[in-house]
Amino acid sequence: MKTLNPTTKKTKIIYWLFTLWMALGMVSTAIVQLIKSKDEVANFTGLGYPSYLMIIIGIWKILGVIAILIPKRPLLKEWAYAGFFFVMSGAVISHLIVGDPAGRTLPAVLLFVLVIISWYFRPAERKITIID
């Protein structure tokens, strides 16, 4: 039986901890967006976006979580991470532009940071390998 060296084991633990936390955050916010929670509609439209965009983003968040959690398909995972990066950085920037207080901005910042950490610590088998 192959044993993992401490660095690899630690990296995998960090990856799965932050990836599952990110997935939970993405799915929970997607559900709130898909059911068009009154508070979420107010938050979303307060940022200047139409409420129908919540459905599109909610569906894409769920599909992105599935893509990241399933085995194999590294190219699909990269696309999902890119989508999460753009959605969450856009959310953070939108909150900052409209001058939202920290309490409304921090959830987007947290999800953005979780996306970056999950992407950074992903195991080799979840990365695209480019052969020269």
Q: Which residues contact 15 (CB under 8 A, 6 or more apart)?
A: 118, 121, 122, 123
pLDDT tens readout for residues 33-59: 999 999 999 999 999 999 999 999 999
pLDDT for the residue numbered 13: 92
Whole-number Å distance between alpha carbons of 87 and 108: 9
In the chain, the amino acid numbered 39 is: D
In this prediction, residues 66-81 reach a mean pLDDT of: 94
Give the C-alpha separation, 84 to 114, whole Å: 10
Average pLDDT of 7-29? Answer: 93
| Confidence band of 72 (pLDDT split at 50, 70, 90) | confident
Structure tokens at 56: 């599109």
- The pLDDT, as a whole number, for residue 1 is 54
